[in-house]
Structure 1
Amino acid sequence: MLLKKFKLSALAVVLGMSAAGTALAQDKFVAITAIVEHPALDAVRDGVIKQLEKEGFVQGKNLKVKYQSAQGNTGTAAQIARQFIGEKPDTIVAIATPSAQAVVAATKTIPVVFAAITDPVAAQLVKAKEPSGTNVTGVSDILELQPQIDLIKQVVPNAKKVGVVYNPGEANSAVVVKQLKETLATQGMELVEASAPRSVDVSSAARSLIGKVDVIYTTTDNNVVSAYEALVKVGNEADIPLVASDTSSVERGAIAALGLNYFNIGEQAGVIVSRVLKGEAPGTIAFETSKNLSLHLNKKAAAEQGVSLSDDLVKTAEKVFD
């Protein structure tokens, strides 16, 4: 009888340990932060959550997700990073460069998966394309510039001066603008820069380009994308064509964009988050890029900004807004 009780007790302990182990394996906490809310970055967040669900991590079941936006403020991004670290999530997903920089600067132990970072090396998140050996990995949204320039030429064939509105304080934007200036120069074209350190500066920066440029090209600069309607207003009023690298900007008033699907970027990051939650060390996973580009066009915006789109260009578009 005593032996039977001992066996039952031992079995109960084993079952208890098994149940606890299962709970630890299943119940995860993922904290997500973005520098600002706009369609592209929101799509990244949604893609991460959707992919985690596909991977078996479901909100309200075995996954807790907490999201906070810094509303465009780098100081707030740093505060969110410190708050999240104090809450000890299993992984922090940092969307866009300023938020990723804030999180990476604040922790060397909690796994960090960045997303929508144009140049993770220039942003000093990792040292090279290879696995970092640290707590950081993620997905880059870097774009080759020549296809972007080719699109500008297709939309505005005689363009010689290309305007760009950007935040020089955002590392990724500064890197892209430098490379764009160099690449345009090799093709007999000139880049004219206008600084917008804050979202509220986008309109005045765009107006400063009136009469100086043939077209305005927008990168994935977060200040600009979050205030894109202000840029569109200037483009429409001054007949300056707008070409973007963010496809969500086309529906908002850009004529054309050859860019990535940011929901897919989020899904790609979600796969990495899942791998980390299942036990892989982030430092063993090299950051990834995506080359699945799609062309979006807006015929109404073209008409309002004084451009006629060729039939050949329209035929190659994945999505056309009338």
Structure 2
Amino acid sequence: MKRRKFIAALGAAAAWPLAANGQTPARLVHVVLLSPVEPSLVSLRKNLQDLGYVEGRNIRLDVRSAGGQIDRLPGLAEAVVREGGIDAILAQSFPAAIAACTATQTIPIVATVGIDPVASGLADSLAHPGHNVTGIAIFAEEMDTKLVELLREIAPRAVRLAAVAAITGGGNLSLGAIQEAGRKLDFDVEIIKIADPADLATALSPEVLTRFDAFMFPPDVVLSSYKAEVLKLIGLSNKPAVFPSSDWAESGGLLSFGPDLAEVGRHSIFQLDRVLKGEKPGDLPFERPTKFTLIINLHTARAMGIELPPTLLVRAEKVID
């Protein structure tokens, strides 16, 4: 057989199984991740691969980051909609979800939000969100109350409590729960609002921190991306602080309590998978995390001269020594 005929025969043989079975190559679905900050994609890509999604083969994943500037999110969402050809939007945080929902009522949205999506107006109900959005709701109000209670155990004589949060365009509706929980536990609560992450050193300067006895950080995707700087600044005060997820304590924070972020990430991609396979997001219930983890960094406690109650230590899922 001549070389040209041989190559043609090979091509026909390779195409024959698809033609015989009436199959066509998988379509490349297009998903956009909308986030207030530049996200880490390692876990996200792993979760996608576990469900059979491989970038460049059957999925295209693009990131639109606001770089810590929350007010950029609406414009980014509008640009995504104008771009067209989007199969779904992954919205990271409540401000990103609101921006996406405002920009489109047709493109499916899978959101991970820190507050009640019904009370905040994002969904009609948890069981039937309606419209074009579903996702994971962490309910930070409940978690923040627990953090204040844990802080009281750590610092029984503390009076002046600062709650530190970035300004996220309505994303910190749980701050009222912090103030209420603080009043019940005899804290004088003040909110330190970070308008711009570039101003962290000023907002958390020694002159500011010296006014308080203890600190707590509600869930905040913006401040989480500046974790190293925040921990350094708070550490200089040598005063107790509690944080909303395990990565804070693992990075040197005194104590963290919050949802298992790996579980949250997996379930978010499970929902994305269902949407990409044709289910309507408005019919998919908002899920809530089922696993919460208490982590104590005993090394940090010793360095600060803080003696933690034994009853607290035995309740921790992990103690870093």
Q: In the alignment, is residue 212 of structure 1 matched against residue 211 of structure 2? A: yes
Structure 2 matches for 1:138-157, cutoff 5 A? 138-143=135-140, 144=142, 145-157=144-156
How far does residue 76 in structure 1 lie from its aligned partner after superposition? 3.4
SS in structure 2 opposite 1:313?
helix
Q: Structure 1 regions of 5+ residues with no counterpart? A: 1-11
Q: In the alignment, is residue 184 of structure 1 matched against residue 182 of structure 2? A: yes
Q: In the alignment, is residue 137 of structure 1 matched against residue 134 of structure 2? A: yes
Identify the residue that residue 272 of structure 1 maps to in structure 2. Answer: 271
How far does residue 288 in structure 1 lie from its aligned partner after superposition? 1.2
Identify the residue that residue 80 of structure 1 maps to in structure 2. Answer: 76
- For the 8 Å contact 2:294–2:318, the answer to whether it is kept is yes
Structure 2 matches for 1:19-168, cutoff 5 A? 19-20=23-24, 23-24=26-27, 27-37=28-38, 42=40, 45-85=41-81, 86-143=83-140, 144=142, 145-168=144-167
SS in structure 1 opposite 2:23?
helix
SS in structure 1 opposite 2:118?
coil
Distance in 1 of aligned mates of 2:225 and 2:120? 20
How far does residue 261 in structure 1 lie from its aligned partner after superposition? 2.0
Distance in 1 of aligned mates of 2:35 and 2:43? 14
Distance 1:229 1:51, change over 3 A: closer
Coordinate RMSD, CA, aligned = 2.5
Identify the residue that residue 221 of structure 1 maps to in structure 2. Answer: 220
SS in structure 2 opposite 1:23?
coil
Higher RCO, 1 vs 2 (CA within 8 Å, ≥6 residues apart):
1
- For the 8 Å contact 1:51–1:270, the answer to whether it is kept is yes
SS in structure 1 opposite 2:204?
helix
Structure 2 matches for 1:254-269, cutoff 5 A? 254-269=253-268
Identify the residue that residue 319 of structure 1 maps to in structure 2. Answer: 318
- For the 8 Å contact 2:31–2:87, the answer to whether it is kept is yes
Where has structure 1 moved over 6 Å in runs of 4 or more? none
SS in structure 1 opposite 2:249?
helix
How far does residue 47 in structure 1 lie from its aligned partner after superposition? 4.1
- For the 8 Å contact 2:260–2:292, the answer to whether it is kept is yes
Q: Structure 2 regions of 5+ residues with no counterpart? A: 1-15
How far does residue 122 in structure 1 lie from its aligned partner after superposition? 4.6
- For the 8 Å contact 1:170–1:221, the answer to whether it is kept is no
Farther-moved stretch of structure 1 (272-281 vs 190-199): 190-199
Identify the residue that residue 7 of structure 1 maps to in structure 2. Answer: none
- For the 8 Å contact 2:88–2:108, the answer to whether it is kept is yes
How far does residue 46 in structure 1 lie from its aligned partner after superposition? 4.2
Distance in 2 of aligned mates of 1:289 and 1:188? 30
Distance 1:305 1:163, change over 3 A: farther
Which residue type is aligned with residue 222 of structure 1?
V
- Normalising by structure 2, report the TM-score: 0.84
Identify the residue that residue 291 of structure 1 maps to in structure 2. Answer: 290
- For the 8 Å contact 2:123–2:130, the answer to whether it is kept is no
Identify the residue that residue 199 of structure 1 maps to in structure 2. Answer: 197
SS in structure 1 opposite 2:90?
strand
SS in structure 2 opposite 1:100?
helix
SS in structure 2 opposite 1:253?
coil
